[in-house]
Structure 1
């Protein structure tokens, strides 16, 4: 059985879902979370270039159709450094 594939919202790279970070707009309260929850999702490569482009061009907010707090971007940068 083949794994589920997803596409990075920044670089458009296609890979198995496990290689990406998942950002979720949780239904029905529209809060933005990392990695868990049910609702609209966006996938992002765990690379500095992809994160920088997504933040600069506001791609997460466009894909999730919600305002993305700065604290989420800070959490992603910390996760990248680790």
Structure 2
């Protein structure tokens, strides 16, 4: 089976789908959530630089064709800090 490749909306890096975080604007409600759901999707690297650029330049909003709530960014920043602390403990 062919691997699923995706592109980061921030740094434009191409990689396997499992390497990215998925942000979804649900159809038909337009609600934005993480990881699951049917609708328009955007992928972003789990890195500080990508998340900063995506938030500063509204790359998620433009990619999803809608407004992204601040709570989504807060959740992504929390995930980033948790993953960084786990890497440091190894």
For the aligned pair, the TM-score class normalised by the smaller chain equals: over 0.9
Partner of 2:17: 17
Mapping of 1:18-57 within 5 angstroms?
18-57=18-57
CA distance in 2, matches of 1:53, 1:76: 13
Q: Count how many residue pairs are aligned between Structure 1 and Structure 2.
A: 82
Unpaired runs of 5+ residues, structure 1, are: none
Larger radius of gyration: 2
Q: Normalising by structure 2, report the TM-score.
A: 0.90
Q: Normalising by structure 1, report the TM-score.
A: 0.98
Q: CA RMSD in A?
A: 0.5
Q: How far has the Cα of 1:36 moved from its partner? A: 0.2
Partner of 1:59: 59
Query: Which consecutive segments of 4 or more residues in structure 1 shift more than 2 A?
Result: none
CA distance in 2, matches of 1:79, 1:12: 21
Q: Which digits, 9 at most, give the CA deviation of each residue in 1:25-59, with x for residues without a partner?
A: 00000000000000000000000000000000000
